[in-house]
Chains A and B, each alone.
Chain A
Amino acid sequence: MAGMAADRAAGPGAGAPPHPAAPPLLEARGVTMAFGGLRAVEDFNLTVQRGELVGLIGPNGAGKTTVFNVLTGVYRPTAGRIFLGGVEITGLPASAITRMGVARTFQNIRLFGGMTVLENLLVAMGFRAGYGLWDALVRSRRFREREAALRRQALELLDLFRLADKAERPARSLAYGEQRRLEIARALATRPRLLLLDEPAAGMNPQEGEELMQLIRWVREQFDLTILLIEHHMPIVMGICQRVLVLDFGRTIAEGDPRAIQSDPRVIEAYLGQQEVS
């Protein structure tokens, strides 16, 4: 326990923030999430500065996805507080947190399968559609202009993700890797500041994983993003994360530089020891 606290104290300080005066983009203080008697996440602390790419790793059931669900407002934490750019977001509805600039993808893909690829992006742009009920009812000029603009933006984004030629296809008809790409594109369509990626490389072969890594790097630069990444594939974590947090049984057991983490005996025991490192 004492060691943990020391790690945490050293961790965030190591990656010196670009603007020391500005509040961190994301800050979680003592977040605990309990389901009945089960404490899925306990006393979770995290500070992410603008522009960082932080990895969240740990064995299955360690509470990584629960952390994402708490950060995005799917669950209201049992205890603790969460801040986005210095503004408290604890307990806000998920849609409000998304509107404030947090977007995510899902471990098990959750596209709107029956809708087209284009419509998937339009849904993510829906909250900033810029017209109301009346405009839609009477097909006002504003309705037509905004619809055309949304469509254009969505197609541009699809183009960047090499999905433009599949714009009118149902999302569920895409190949697996394309669906993963579409999920990232859809998250970006909400114009986030912070992007949470939940095992984006799950089910991919090493080559696809490598391509994905390039994509994540590129997306981060292109969209000026801060990224929090849950990942099982160690090469991806080691290759692109500046800092890594290790969860086990809901607790943070280590935090720091990826290479240092890899040789941390507690991490090896909890995670690398049991998990196949591919």
Chain B
Amino acid sequence: MNTPVKRWQSLLLWGGLTLAVVAVHLLGRAGLVSGYLLQILQLIGINIMLTASLNLVNGYLGEFAIGHAGFMAVGAYVSALFTVKWHLPFPLALLAGAVAAGFFAWLVGIPAFTTFGDYLAIITLGFNMIVVNLINNIDYLGGPRGLPGLPRATNLLWVYALTALSLLVLRNLVRSNYGRLWVAIRESDIAAELMGAEVRRLKLLALVIAGTIAGAAGALWGHLLQYIHPRSFDYIKSTEMLVMVYLGGMGSLAGSVLGATLYTALMEMLRGLKEWRPVVGPLILILIMLRMPRGLMGLRPPDLGRLLRPRREKGVAT
């Protein structure tokens, strides 16, 4: 339970962070913070939303979804329809993008969770490819040329508010009966069902929440870059999200924040690598798997040294 001290600490932390973000936003508008830095900060927020939501499904629930960019694409394109084609206000577009992505997550979950078994990976991958191919073939949405002209509606405050809201929703659910049941399903779905948990409904719920958040992230992303094209949402994007989840640590929201932040910053710093840059992500993934399969937040402090030291055989404990 929350002790008063903890409550003060978190109030201070969130208050301080909010003040800092508002300050940076205002300084940016006054031209005192570079647009480049502002964009990186927003990309970090968007990636935190994508990573944390994917972590709900892959980390807490223990499923394996590998097409998260599909939901992001739905959010980006549906919101773009609202603003570019129908000239509706951005908040409405954002909401529509999120809801549409949640609806598609529900559609994906129905066949994936009908029986016990691991169908989610293949179905989410298929969904990701279908979405990209569909957009490629719909001329109204610009097809392979992409859809330009999205209004620059996303700003640091929007991203911050939605990132915080997403994390709050995920944290509160994870620390409730729902979160316990999700983790129980990960540990043993049969035992969870036999303890009265409606496993299929609970899995669907997690996937829909994750899809909705990814959709909102997609809408923010589109209205930040102002130009979207189908290739930005292919399986490579989905893989990047997986890298961020594993880097931060499965089943840890703090890990997702850390993983998304580090990865986004790192990829920005490596722009100089040009065509070699896409190699870095998979390479990180391999390194994580080999040296710290539980991710950064899965490590206890004493283990951190293991990353730096060569491995040694442990002596017999005396």
Taking Cβ atoms with an 8 Å cutoff, the residues of A that contact B are: 72, 74, 93-95, 98-99, 103-104, 106, 110-115, 119, 122-124, 126-129, 131, 133, 136-139, 143, 147, 150, 186, 189-190
B184 on the A face (CB < 8 A): yes
Closest to A189 in B: B195
The answer to whether B173 touches A126, judged by C-beta atoms less than 8 angstroms apart, is no
Chain A residues closer than 8 Å to B191, beta-carbon distance? 106, 110-112
Complex: A122 Cα to B178 Cα, angstroms = 11
Which of B169, B172, B196 makes the CB contact (< 8 A) with A127?
B196
Chain A residues closer than 8 Å to B198, beta-carbon distance? 93, 95, 127
B5 on the A face (CB < 8 A): no
The answer to whether A136 touches B178, judged by C-beta atoms less than 8 angstroms apart, is yes
The answer to whether A143 touches B183, judged by C-beta atoms less than 8 angstroms apart, is no
In the complex, how many residue pairs between chain A and chain B have their CB atoms under 8 Å apart? 91
Chain A residues closer than 8 Å to B118, beta-carbon distance? none
Chain B residues closer than 8 Å to A186, beta-carbon distance? 195
Chain B residues closer than 8 Å to A127, beta-carbon distance? 195-198
B192 on the A face (CB < 8 A): yes
Chain A residues closer than 8 Å to B197, beta-carbon distance? 95, 123, 126-127
Chain B residues closer than 8 Å to A129, beta-carbon distance? 177
The answer to whether A115 touches B196, judged by C-beta atoms less than 8 angstroms apart, is no
B199 on the A face (CB < 8 A): yes
The size class of the interface chain B forms with chain A is: 20 to 34
The answer to whether A123 touches B195, judged by C-beta atoms less than 8 angstroms apart, is yes
Q: List 28 A-B contacts (CB under 8 A).
A: A74-B194, A93-B198, A98-B193, A98-B196, A103-B194, A110-B190, A110-B191, A111-B188, A112-B188, A119-B180, A119-B183, A123-B180, A123-B181, A123-B184, A123-B192, A123-B195, A126-B180, A126-B184, A126-B197, A127-B196, A127-B198, A128-B196, A136-B176, A137-B172, A137-B173, A143-B176, A186-B195, A190-B195
Determine which residue in B176, B177, B192, B205 has the highest number of CB atoms from chain A within 10 A of its CB, and name it.
Answer: B177
Which of A95, A112, A126 makes the CB contact (< 8 A) with B187?
A112
Complex: A190 Cα to B192 Cα, angstroms = 11
The answer to whether A136 touches B196, judged by C-beta atoms less than 8 angstroms apart, is no
Closest to B195 in A: A124
Closest to A100 in B: B196
Question: Across chains A and B, which 4 residue pairs bring their CB atoms closest together, nearest first?
Answer: A127-B196, A136-B176, A112-B187, A129-B177
Q: A119-B180, A127-B198 are in contact. List 9 more A-B contacts (CB 8 A).
A: A74-B194, A95-B198, A98-B193, A98-B195, A112-B187, A115-B180, A115-B184, A127-B195, A136-B172
The answer to whether A126 touches B183, judged by C-beta atoms less than 8 angstroms apart, is no
